[in-house]
């Protein structure tokens, strides 16, 4: 067997990170905003059938950017993790923190052990249950397993830095859903040459006012009204 060429670990990690970052930068962006009654997830996604945003459990949602098959696998793995945990303990024991940790471990392992890293970033959001002292949680997990705990807003994907800069300036606490949707779209517009309409968007919310399963999708007429473009 021929001896493989020697590559320093440092160089290898650098190459992998660059490869993953390039892949992610090609994709479109997702923003997440905390608003008065919950958490809003907003993605630029021209397909209404291939989702980037999904329900995971009662109070938990998932969003992924990058390569579709890779974050789709992570999404299904997350739903399994949550459902098994909720079935074997109780529904209240399923937490975003445990799920985010699992994603971080998985992505970290793939990054160090596999030849090709995953070209994805994922986000796990959990809306507060309204009990005293509980608050919304937003976790942002990068391709190498790095995990960040975000407050108020988060952005990931191609032009995340620009979007984050815009949100830092314009974000206000306790917004209404309408304000949050409009701010989210404006922040995505910053990186575009065109103005995004309802057709280019995939929108989901974790709505605290709903019973048990808090996730719902906003589309069609409902979304048009929130965007102020209803016919």
Partner 1 sequence: MNDQPRWLSVFNDLSTSSFVDVLRREHPHLLPEARLRPEDVANVPHGTTVIAVGYRGGVIMAGDRQATAGYQVASRRIEKIFKADDYSGVGIAGAAGPAVEMAKLFQTELEHYEKVEGDNLSLEGKANKLGQMIRMNLPMAMQGLAVVPIFAGFDVKAEVGRLFKYDVTGGKYEETNFEAQGSGSKDARDSLKKLWKKDMTRDEALRVAIEALIDAADEDVGTGGPDFVRGIFPTVRSIDRLGFGEVAEAEVRKLCEQILDERAKTGNGA
Instruction: Summarize as ranges the residues that interact with partner 1 (CB under 8 A).
Output: 51, 54-56, 76, 79-80, 83-84, 86-88
Q: Rounded distance, CA 52 to CA 45, Å?
A: 8
Q: How far is the CB of 146 from partner 1 (least distance, A)?
A: 27
Nearer to partner 1 among residue 87 and residue 168 (C-beta): 87
Q: How far is the CB of 5 from partner 1 (least distance, A)?
A: 27
Q: Rounded distance, CA 42 to CA 27, Å?
A: 14
Q: Rounded distance, CA 56 to CA 125, Å?
A: 10
Nearer to partner 1 among residue 57 and residue 111 (C-beta): 57
Nearer to partner 1 among residue 81 and residue 140 (C-beta): 81
* Chain centroid offset of residue 222 CA: 22
Q: How far is the CB of 83 from partner 1 (least distance, A)?
A: 5
Nearer to partner 1 among residue 51 and residue 140 (C-beta): 51
Q: How far is the CB of 10 from partner 1 (least distance, A)?
A: 32
Measure Cα distances from 81 to 53, 57, 102, 104, 213 in Å. 17, 10, 9, 14, 17
What are 213's two structure tokens? Answer: 């399963």
């Amino acid at each position: 067997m021929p001896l493989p060429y020697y590559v320093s670990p440092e160089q290898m990690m650098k190459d992998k990170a660059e490869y993953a970052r390039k892949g992610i930068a090609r994709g479109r962006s997702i923003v997440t905003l905390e608003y008065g009654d919950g958490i809003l997830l907003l993605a630029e996604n021209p397909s209404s059938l291939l989702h980037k945003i999904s329900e995971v459990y009662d109070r938990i949602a998932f969003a992924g950017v990058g390569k579709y098959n890779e974050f789709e696998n992570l999404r299904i793995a997350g739903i399994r993790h949550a459902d098994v945990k909720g079935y074997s303990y109780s529904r209240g024991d399923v937490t975003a923190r445990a799920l985010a940790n699992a994603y971080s471990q998985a992505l970290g392992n793939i990054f160090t052990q596999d030849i090709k890293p995953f070209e994805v970033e994922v986000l796990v959001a959990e809306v507060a249950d309204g009990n005293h002292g509980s608050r919304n949680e937003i976790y942002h997990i990068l391709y190498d397993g790095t995990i960040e705990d975000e407050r108020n807003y988060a952005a990931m994907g191609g032009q995340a830095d620009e979007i984050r800069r815009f949100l830092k300036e314009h974000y206000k606490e306790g917004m209404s859903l309408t304000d949050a949707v409009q701010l989210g779209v404006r922040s995505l517009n910053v990186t575009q040459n065109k103005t995004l309409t309802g057709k280019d968007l995939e929108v989901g919310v974790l709505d605290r006012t709903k019973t048990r399963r808090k996730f719902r999708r906003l589309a069609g007429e409902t979304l048009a009204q929130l965007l102020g473009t209803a016919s």
